[in-house]
Structure 1
Amino acid sequence: MRKIINSTYISLDGVIEDPSWTTPYFDDEAAAFAGEQTAAADALLMGRRTYEGFAAVWPNQDESDPSTGAAYFNNVKKYVASTTLTNPEWNNSEVLQGDLIEAVTRLKAQEGKDILMYGYGAVTHALVKAGLVDEVRFWITPVFVGGPSFSAPLSDVETTLTLAGTKVMKGGVIIATYTPAAR
């Protein structure tokens, strides 16, 4: 069974929106870890807002430069959870049909590598609640950004996670990896 891995950049004050503030901290070490994540995943899963943000940026990046990651993001299979997006234009994108939990359960049962998610919004929230997310990796960045924090309401789910590992980067970023706790 495939694993769903959520990878989310988060500031010290809980901001995850528009993570352009992570750029000064995305050094060679962070790039290597990000490369390991994408090498282990043959699909992306995202909500409409994340899809639209990615689709506005990645197709305009130089795919011939391996340091950008553009070749991966533009060509990897992309699954979009949306009730409003019907005809995604970004290469290799497919809107999930029907019930989100059932559709993602089918994806996990398929042969393949990990399914990678970026950002923590309503889709990730629903999948965590349903027990379908195998790991959440928070890239805790040593900066206060200001503005609204955390994009998904979490009041309707109580989830206990177990720390599975940490990686401390030279630039100050801490990647904290959690897995669902045994019930």
Structure 2
Amino acid sequence: MGRIVNATYMTLDGDITNMQNWHFTYLGEQAHAAVKAQLAASDALIMGRKTYDGFSQAWPQLPKDEVSDRMNTIDKYVVSTTLKDPEWTGSKVISENVVDEIRALKERTAGDILQYGFGDVTRLLLDNGLLDELRVWLHPVLSGNATPDQLLYRETGQKTFTLNGTEVHDTGMIILSYTPAQ
């Protein structure tokens, strides 16, 4: 059975969306190795429509390398009621019975199912006990320009987590690994 692993890149002030302004400064050799290992352990990606729209435009345009090749060939599942005909190779849409479909995906997947970002799909996973691990890639920077809808925080019920481990990088970035508490 597969595990759903969320990887969220975040600044100290909670910005999870303006990565072009702060992420790449901290993407050193250790982070690149962590990205490759995370992708290698994954048999599929799951994402919402916004992530799909951004990724499907960017990843096919990037130069071929181990990471971009994996992103472009891995099975992708998009939770969306509006996307009908995804063009990115290997993409399938989940539009009905989403929770049941994701449960079935976990059952038929051997490796991890990787999810990037923290939005409506992540909250759905948490609310239904489907998220197995949350990895916060904490960047040592205050973005200073995120709007409330670009922050990790949203009004929602309280969720608690158990710390699994930390990975500290030379750039100051820390990957915090958590399991939702039962």
Residue 49 (structure 2) pairs with residue 51 (structure 1): no
**C-alpha distance after superposition, 1:110-145 (max 9, x if no partner):** 142100000001101111111100000000001111
Return 5+ residue gaps in structure 2 as ranges.
Answer: none
The AA in structure 2 aligned to 1:84 is: T
1:109 maps to 107
Post-superposition offset of 1:155:
2.5
Identity of aligned residues (%): 41
The secondary structure found in structure 1 opposite 2:53 is helix
2:147 maps to 148
Give the Cα separation in 1 of the matches to 2:72 and 2:60: 6
**C-alpha distance after superposition, 1:156-180 (max 9, x if no partner):** 3221110111111110001111001
- Structure-to-structure mapping, 1:97-176, within 5 angstroms: 97-145=95-143, 146-149=145-148, 150-151=150-151, 154-176=154-176
Q: Normalized against structure 2, the TM-score is what?
A: 0.93
Q: Normalized against structure 1, the TM-score is what?
A: 0.93
**C-alpha distance after superposition, 1:93-120 (max 9, x if no partner):** 0001312211111111114210000000
Residue 69 (structure 2) pairs with residue 71 (structure 1): yes
Post-superposition offset of 1:86:
0.6
Moved over 4 A (4+): 149-153
Return 5+ residue gaps in structure 1 as ranges.
Answer: none
CA contact (8 A) 1:120 1:151 kept: no
